[in-house]
Amino acid sequence: MNADSHDMANDGSIDRKAVQDLRNEGGNLLSDLVDMFIHEVPGQLAALEAALAKGDAGAARLTAHTLKGTGANFGASRMQALANAIEEKARNGSLEGASATLVELRAECARVRDDLKAVR
**Interacting residues with other proteins (CB under 8 A):** 18, 21, 25, 27, 29, 32-33, 36-37, 40, 62, 65-66, 68-70, 72-73
Q: How far is the CB of 53 from other proteins (least distance, A)?
A: 18
Least distance from C-beta 32 to other proteins, angstroms? 6
28, with CB counted inside 10 A (0-12, 13-18, 19+), is exposed
Q: Output the smallest distance, CB 24 to other proteins, in A.
A: 9
- Nearest Cα to Cα of residue 3 among 100, 115, 112: 100
For residues 20 and 99, which CB has a smaller minimum distance to other proteins in the complex?
Answer: 20
Task: Count CB-CB contacts under 10 A for residue 51.
Answer: 23
